[in-house]
Amino acid sequence: MSENLTHIDEAGRAKMVDVGAKGETEREGVAEAIIRMQPATLERIKAGQIKKGDVLAVAQVAGVMGAKKTPDLIPMCHPIAITGVDFDFKIDDANSTITIQAAVRTIGRTGVEMEALTAVATAALTIYDMCKAIDKGMIVDGIALVKKSGGRSGLWERK
């Protein structure tokens, strides 16, 4: 792990990294989040019985919007042209969870890890919002980068 924090200047103040000299490469960030809920809540999501609508469809749209709005939320993130966002929702009946995975892609000078993390967080919070009337005890957990590729550092995958 690098000991140099790229978003801190010599005086210890926050700064946005200058990526102007970097070459453009294909980049991808994959992140996941887990939302835990009561079994009855999960059953209602699967059955389409949540009054606010199709929970996973709305969460997917919200996640895409979250990825696109990342530089508005995270101060040192560069606004970048996202070329694609894909979502996968894995329902685990035994543990009463939904694992949300987002893959965000770009061709650019900086990565999309923060966009992928923001996408899954936004999707998970949307699930919470849509179901909170029946289950205020839901827990959003395990937000993590799973994989990143492209750029100078190349491929990184969580073990």
Query: Catalytic positions, please?
Result: 129
**Residue whose C-alpha is closest to residue 31's, from 132, 151, 149, 127:** 149
Whether residue 27 contacts residue 147, with contact meaning beta carbons closer than 8 Å, is answered with: no
Pair 138, 128: CB distance under 8 Å? yes
The position carrying tokens 């966009």 is 115
37: its two tokens: 């809920």
Retrieve residue 56's tokens.
């996973």
Question: DSSP 3-state assignment of 17?
Answer: coil
